[in-house]
Homo-oligomer: A and B are copies of this chain.
């Protein structure tokens, strides 16, 4: 087990009708900016529940944060925060709204030249404006971590930010929200969380037995609940395990004391930036090729994954490891998620070279758990997805 530090102060409020507990969490003298996305919360009842719980609080609203939260849109919200002397942010949405809110929590008190620096210079946020979340779409784990990813359409970039000042003060998780989520988003959420775990697990063994088993626990639970959720999103028990698995997949716990990879995300972000493919789907495109390309360095963990998660106990290490990759692809397919870039676009020619070039320009010369995944290897992996 590697050395680590772990602290996660976010308060989780989990359960049926928990949105009404909002009123206990936000100071009554706060000036709140309520942030949300495309407006589905107005049709599924969540908006009304939130407004009712905040009756006694001064609330301004900002809707329209898009999937892959867009810098230009967020800059409009930032103006409101400054002009209205907002003191507290409330994200009501999925990962995009929460990530956008994290950027705003940082930008609201950033005193450099331009908030873009926070992203382009990867400036760590030690302190941000306080904020809470009401999760409406489980997937990213953003409700219980301190990281965010922001997109800038103008430059076709998608960059990460974070810091200890960006943990939500609280997050409200009501499994009933699952009932109104479209199938496509449910499948994305399962795939996103599943891949988050893989990024923190599919590396090399360091005898971190407990972390490995926790990671496997999340994978097993996602596999178990996936067909139930897709069949019936009103299945409250399955929905509960779905939400909690997504949160635990990326709240920092399973990555402590182990090597992590994150190259799948790095490559996947580029596919979203270039083609607008859903984040989760880009991960399902990249992951299988990534594991095949890096087979030798990952095969011990692939074998452990094969045995413990997929019950593949017969055969050689190589055979078990390969079968586990195939099982993973089948799992994505059963969710209705395609796993080839060519399934999403016909304009894939040159994508691998473009991504490799971007990584080179950013100085990303060695990704992955061994810091050895150079741009030429990235190019090969992306080509395998055509």
Pair A12/B6 contact, Cβ less than 8 Å: yes
Residues of B with C-beta under 8 A to A257: 14, 240, 244
Interface size band for A: 35 or more
When the two chains form their complex, are residues A9 and B7 in contact, meaning their CB atoms are under 8 A apart?
Answer: yes
Contact (Cβ within 8 A) B240 A1: yes
Q: Which of A1-55 contact B (CB under 8 A)?
A: 1-16, 18
A214 on the interface (CB 8 Å rule)? Answer: yes
Q: In the bound complex, what is the Cα–Cα distance between A95 and B213 (angstroms)? A: 26
CA distance A171 to B5 in the complex (A): 10
Question: Which of A134-142, A217-225, A334-342 lies at the interface with chain B?
Answer: A217-225
Q: Pick from A5, A211, A218 the residue with the most CB of B within 10 Å.
A: A5
Q: Is the CB of B9 within 8 A of A5?
A: no
Write out, one digit per residue, whether chain A residues 193-227 have a CB within 8 A of any chain B CB (1) or not (0). 00000000000000111110110111011001100
Determine whether the beta carbon of A4 is less than 8 Å from that of B15: yes
Give this chain's copy count: 2
Chain B nearest Cβ from A232, distance in angstroms: 14
Across-interface contacts of A210 in B (CB, < 8 A): 217-218, 221, 241, 244-245, 248
Nearest CB on B from A62, distance (A): 27
Q: Which residues of B contact A4 (CB under 8 A)?
A: 12, 14-15
CB–CB B256/A14 < 8 A:
yes
Residues in B whose Cβ lies below 8 Å from that of A327: none
Residues of chain B with a CB closer than 8 A to A240's CB:
1, 207-208, 257
Pick the most buried of A3, A5, A16, A256: most chain B CB atoms within 10 A of its CB: A3
Check A79 for interface membership: any CB of B closer than 8 A: no
**Residue A184 interfacial (CB < 8 Å):** no
Complex Cα–Cα for A4 and B172 (A): 11
Would you call B6 and A14 a contact (CB within 8 A)? yes
Could you say which of B5, B16, B221 contacts A11, with CB atoms under 8 Å apart?
A: B5
Q: Are B1 and A237 within 8 A (Cβ)?
A: yes
Give the top 6 A-B pairs by smallest Cβ distance, nearest first. Answer: A3-B15, A213-B217, A7-B11, A1-B240, A9-B9, A207-B237
* New contact pairs (19) apart from A3-B16, A6-B12, CB-CB < 8 Å: A1-B237, A3-B14, A3-B15, A4-B12, A4-B14, A4-B15, A5-B14, A7-B11, A14-B256, A14-B257, A207-B240, A208-B240, A209-B225, A210-B218, A210-B248, A213-B213, A213-B216, A213-B220, A214-B214
Interface CB pairs A-B, < 8 A, 19: A1-B175, A1-B237, A1-B240, A1-B244, A3-B15, A3-B18, A4-B14, A5-B11, A5-B12, A7-B11, A7-B12, A8-B9, A207-B241, A208-B241, A209-B221, A213-B216, A213-B217, A214-B217, A216-B217
